[in-house]
Amino acid sequence: MNTMTVFALAAIATYLLRSLVILAGDRVAQSPALESVIGLVSPAVLAAIVASALLVHGGSVAVPDPAGLAAVLGALVAVRRTGNVAAALFVGLPIYWLGALVGLA
């Protein structure tokens, strides 16, 4: 299999996905139905990625490690309270390190 060919074709396909709505025209892009969905894509993508990172390993559902779970919960609370996304890392990672230190990772 030619690696460059795979990446080139995959890149073209990905670009077509990205540009689909623009190519479809302003009537589609500005439609109220799309507007109501677009605003909800962010929470859906974020929750799916976080849940997948915590609960899916190797394609199967797995019990999350307590330190990782505590870190993510801590990050959620920290950002809720501060409104600063960087707090997720500054709070979450130390929680994980502490959890790992006491054998919860």
Site for another protein in 44-83 (CB under 8 A): 44-56, 59-61, 67-68, 71-72, 75-80, 83
Task: Tell me the number of residues near another protein by CB under 8 A.
Answer: 73
Residues with Cβ within 8 Å of residue 93, at least 6 apart in sequence: 71
The distance of closest approach from Cβ of residue 57 to another protein in the complex, given in angstroms and rounded to an integer, is: 9
Q: How far is the CB of 91 from another protein (least distance, A)?
A: 9
What Å distances lie between residue 80 and 7, 17, 87, CA to CA? 39, 33, 10
What is the spatial distance between Cα 88 and Cα 30, in angstroms, rounded to a whole number?
34
Shortest separation between residue 69's beta carbon and another protein, angstroms: 10
- The whole-angstrom separation of Cα 82 and Cα 1 is 50
Binding status of residue 104 toward another protein by CB under 8 A:
no
